[in-house]
Each structure stands twice: as structure tokens, then as C-alpha cells.
A and B are shown apart, each in its own frame.
Chain A
């Protein structure tokens, strides 16, 4: 979408753009929504820094207490937090790197090359969307058992290393942002497919890669059902599964469980806030093209 419609679009919508009072009302409404959005995090901090007894007191305590470090230490005692964190980091980072590479490479091919079977292959790619992931939960597990990957990080990384969403989305981006003239110039200089990809396409893809990267990283970090099924060794879990385990085994010790939850949430929020601008702009643009 060209930039001019974008700025123009926000001119006159029915609501808000009028008087000072009206603008204040808009802010008040948005702030109310914002509080609802953010409150559970605040509440998480409150609970993680209290004792379990304090959490369920009436009237409830509404400000953070002084037991945060103590609760965190208990978390470290009860679950292999750092081991799980390392596993999650490996899965999310390696998985994201592979997705970025494979998806952008395939997207480049689909956007800029003609080859026999292209249309057919792209239709197959899109139709894989239709299959709900949960359909193959059981046989996927059996497949992993045959490969000997049950309980290993490989099982978490490999199946998702290239995905239809990313290829489709990157292809849309490539078609609009990668001028044919640049590629022709590269060809005249004798560059082959992979050199064109690496030296011309990848630098231009950077904004799209940033979006897809954050999106994939967050998804991998938060993935739950598949690691829950496949990581059967209690000493080798991802953060989400370890957290769920902490919750189910020590569920009555709320303060400690909350400290664990807080520790699992904070790294991701940092990643998100760093990348938020890029991410939010491109998320909206991506959704518009679907």
C-alpha cells in the first residue's frame, strides 16, 4: 500500500478527532483498556513477591512485597530453570534462524523465478494451511519415536524449520520490494541464483525478516502442546513445560509458581519491546495481504 493512503486514512474517522474534551475521552477509554491489558503482569509481579499466605488474604494486598528473591531461589531449587531456559533458547534461536533462511530462500524463488510446476507447488504450499496441526499429533509422535528423536531438541526444531506462512508472507513482500532491474543487473555481472539471493535479496528483505524473526521466535518460545508431548524426560524440558510441571506439582505454593511464571515471561517481553515498532507495523501489513 502506498504511503499516501496510509497517512490520509487516519484523517477523518467518525470518532475522536474533534474537540479537546472528545480527545480526553478517547484517551480515558484507551487507558482503561490499557490497564486491563497490563494488569495481569502487575498482578504477577505482586504475587511473585509475596508469600502464598499473603496472596489470598482478604482484603487482597495490591502492592508488591519483599519475597521476590526468596521465591525465585525456591523456583531454582524445584525445577531445572536454567537448563530449561537454555533448551528454550536453543530451540527458539536455531528454529528462527532456519525459518528465516529457508522461508526467504523459497520466497525469493517463488517471487522472482519462473519454473515448471511453480503454480502447482504454490497451491500445495497454501493448502497445507488447511490441515490443523493437532490432527497429526499422535502420528507425529510415532514418527519421532521411529527416528529416535523423542525427548530431543531436534524434534522441536526440525519439523517447523520451513513453514507455509513465512514463505507466503515473504513472497508477498519480495514481489513488492525487490525490483527486477536490480536482479537483472546482478545477472549481467554473472551472479547465479544463490548469489543473487544472498547479495541482493537478503539485504532488501531485512524489514520482513525482522518481522518474521520476532514472530517465529515468540511462537517457538511459547510453544506448549508439542514440547509437552515430545519432551518426556523430566530433566530435559522447555521452559513452558517446566513451568506447567512446577504448577501441577507445587500448585498450592502460589508465590513460587508465580515467581517461575515471571521468570519465564520477562525475557520475551524484553525481546518484544525491542522489536515492537517493526513488528507491529509489519504484522498489520501482513494481515492485510492474507
Chain B
């Protein structure tokens, strides 16, 4: 209606009238806000439709499935809490949780530390900064499958890793055969892939710190270390939390590295010798699509959800606690502790 009014006459006067008319029209039809906003609802609807079909429904359905015994082809059989009962007594499942957390810890701590160091270096007004950034980010862009295959060859018994150890006079290390070797290998791949990504996020955080803070620190005669610990790191806190949260969520879903590294020729993967590389998601995939235990797979999915939720809750607590860290008392505490 407004369109018709405006296209009817090119001068501004009718347009203004058209606008008024539209205002009156909408005010005159209080009962149809949905219809009035129809284009807007249409615009946002694709996400909600897709989410309902491919997000919400599967989640509800997976809850239903986790109370069934089903191989994906035959009839479902209701088994009550049995899948969860099995899960709680399944030593491989517990092992997969432990493995996942061990790999997460082994990768996240060095990764974030290295990323912070690289961010500081990149922030020190050097030349070729963009070239460095591109190079550091490339690992994150490339296919996990391809690079896992590359790392797999490096970690093989006669691979580059052991060749290097031999060259410096050390014996072979069981990169893909010993319990810790497997975890270290997986952690190395994760560190390699994500350090540059986190460094660039830290860098953005560093560049967002107002220069007045540095000025003030300099005027007060603060040393470099004091500036680092009392100015830079506190300012960087939200960014650090962001990286911790994202690396936790990603870390709990490790799959590709382990799956590709220990894939058997039939396509399935049990996580390597002693199942030391078995992660939660790999176990889910293996049970559901390798052993065709759809109900059990769904139950593992819910267990994963609970673990992620607990982790997210811990992260939120951290955010909340550090968020309150503004008052004078805590600042004094920090200074005292520094002394």
C-alpha cells in the first residue's frame, strides 16, 4: 500500500503522505501484528524451520531412542533405563571420558600459553605482521583428515619423529603405540591446528586495550612485568575466557584426529592400541555406526550433552566470578599478593 502511494508520484509530498497513511493503517489494525510483520517473520523463519526439523526434533528423538534397543533396521524394543545402566558400567565409556579430558588438558594448556606469547610478539609493531598472521592461521584452515594423515606418517615407528629422536641420540618413542604417546600425538595435532587461531584472537584483545592504560602505567613508573600482570592480563580476561570456553567445547568433541589416525581397513576405528585414543565422540560413532547400536549411541550422545553442560556451567561460574573482580578490595588483594 505504501509502495503504491510512493510510486504513484515522484515528489516528496505524496511519499510523506504515504508514510502517514501507513502509520495510520498499522495503528488502525491492532489485531494483526503478525500479518504486519510478515516479511520480518519470513526473513527469520529459515533458521527456525531448519532448527525444528534438524535440531530440535533429533534432540527429542534421541532422548526417545536412548530408551530403545535398535539396530537401525529391525523393530525397536523399549528397554527403559538399560542403555544408561550399561553406560555407567561400561569401562570403555569411562576410559573414553578420561582420554578425552587428558588429551584436552595436554593440548589446551600449552596451546593457550604459546598463543599468548605469539600474540605479544605480533603486537610489538614489527614488519610483515600480516604475513605472519596468514602463516600462523593456515593450519586452522586445512583439512583435518589430510593433516592427520601427514602427522600419522611423522608419528609412525620409522617416521620423522623417531628419526629426529635417533638423530639426537635418543631411542624410539611409541607415538602411536604407548598410552602417553598416543595422547601426546593427538595433543600435538590439536596444538598445531589451534595455536595460531587463538594467537590471533589474543592479538585482537591486545589491540583493543586503550593506550591510555599503558600511558598511565608508564607515568606511574611501572616495569614491563608490572604492566604485563596488572594492566595487560586483567584487560585480556574476557578474551582468555572466550578461548578457554571454545577450546573446552571443541576439546570435548575430538573425533577426526583419532578416527583417521587409528582407522582400520574396514573403515572403523577403536582408538588405537589399548584404546588409548578412544574419545567420547569416537565411541559414540563407533557404537552407533560400527556396531549398529543406535539406542546406545543415543545414550552416549546424552552423556556427552551432560558433560558439556557441566563444563559450560563451570565456565559460566568462572565468568561470573572474574566478572565481579572489579571492586577495590580485590584489586588491593591482587597487589598484596604480587608483593
Binding site for B on A (CB under 8 A): 1, 5-6, 8-17, 23, 26-27, 29-30, 33-34, 36-38, 40-41, 43-44, 47, 55-56, 58-60, 102-103, 105-106, 108-110, 113, 115-116, 121, 124-125, 128, 130-143, 158-159, 161-164, 167, 187-194, 197, 218, 221-222, 224-225, 228-229, 239-240, 243-245, 247-249, 251, 254, 257-258, 261-262, 264-265, 268-269, 272-273, 276-277, 280, 283-285, 287-288, 290
Contact = CB atoms under 8 A, between A and B. Distances in A.
Contacts of A43: 150, 154, 160
A12 B211 contact: yes
B249 interface: yes
Contacts, number: 343
A280 B122 CA distance: 14
Interface in B97-135: 114, 117-118, 120-126, 130, 132-135
A222 B193 CA distance: 13
Interface in B146-187: 146-147, 149-154, 156, 158-160, 163, 166-167
A134 B44 CA distance: 25
A56 B125 contact: no
A13 B260 contact: no
Given A105-B46, A280-B134, 16 more contacts: A1-B208, A5-B207, A6-B207, A14-B232, A56-B156, A128-B55, A135-B304, A136-B58, A137-B301, A143-B57, A188-B15, A189-B6, A190-B7, A194-B39, A261-B146, A272-B138
A98 B61 CA distance: 27
Contacts of B2: 187, 190, 192
Nearest to A147: B53
Nearest to A13: B123
Contact of B135 (A38, A139, A283): A38
B145 A243 contact: yes
B65 to A, nearest CB: 6
12 contacts: A13-B124, A15-B121, A23-B126, A37-B136, A58-B163, A113-B37, A139-B59, A187-B19, A190-B15, A245-B267, A280-B137, A284-B203
A131 B55 contact: yes
B53 A143 contact: yes
Given A30-B121, A41-B138, A190-B2, A247 B41 contact: no
Contact of B55 (A8, A41, A136, A283): A136
Interface of B: 2-3, 5-7, 12, 15-16, 18-19, 33-34, 37, 39-41, 43-44, 46-48, 50-51, 53-55, 57-59, 61-62, 65, 72, 114, 117-118, 120-126, 130, 132-139, 141-147, 149-154, 156, 158-160, 163, 166-167, 192, 196, 200-201, 203-211, 214-215, 218, 224-225, 227-228, 232, 239, 242, 249, 252-253, 255-256, 259-260, 263-267, 281, 284-285, 288-289, 294, 297-298, 301-302, 304-305, 308-309, 312
A243 B232 contact: no
Nearest to A262: B146
B138 A38 contact: yes
Nearest to A105: B43
A243 B200 contact: no
B146 A30 contact: no
Contacts of A167: 47
A109 B41 CA distance: 8
Nearest to B269: A248
A89 to B, nearest CB: 14
Contacts of B210: 5, 8-9
A14 B201 contact: no
Given A14-B225, A132-B252, A37 B163 contact: no
Nearest to A18: B124
A132 B139 contact: no
B144 A11 contact: no
Nearest to B282: A225
A269 B44 contact: no
A134 B5 contact: no
Contact of B146 (A36, A102, A243): A243
What are the 10 closest A-B residue pairs judged by CB atoms, nearest first? Answer: A16-B124, A190-B6, A284-B204, A136-B58, A8-B211, A193-B39, A139-B58, A261-B146, A159-B54, A9-B207
Interface centre among A130, A139, A222, A280 (most CB of B within 10 A): A139
B124 A140 contact: no
Given A43-B150, A47-B150, A139-B61, A5 B142 contact: no
B121 A16 contact: yes
A163 B50 CA distance: 9
Interface centre among A125, A136, A191 (most CB of B within 10 A): A136
A178 to B, nearest CB: 14
A193 B281 contact: no
A132 B253 contact: yes
A193 B3 CA distance: 11
B265 A248 contact: yes
A170 to B, nearest CB: 12
Nearest to B4: A190
B328 to A, nearest CB: 25
Contacts of A264: 143, 145-146
A160 B235 CA distance: 36
A55 B150 CA distance: 12
Contact of A12 (B142, B214, B225): B214
A59 B41 CA distance: 66
Contact of B153 (A6, A55, A121): A55
Nearest to A55: B153
B246 to A, nearest CB: 8
Interface centre among A189, A191, A229, A258 (most CB of B within 10 A): A189
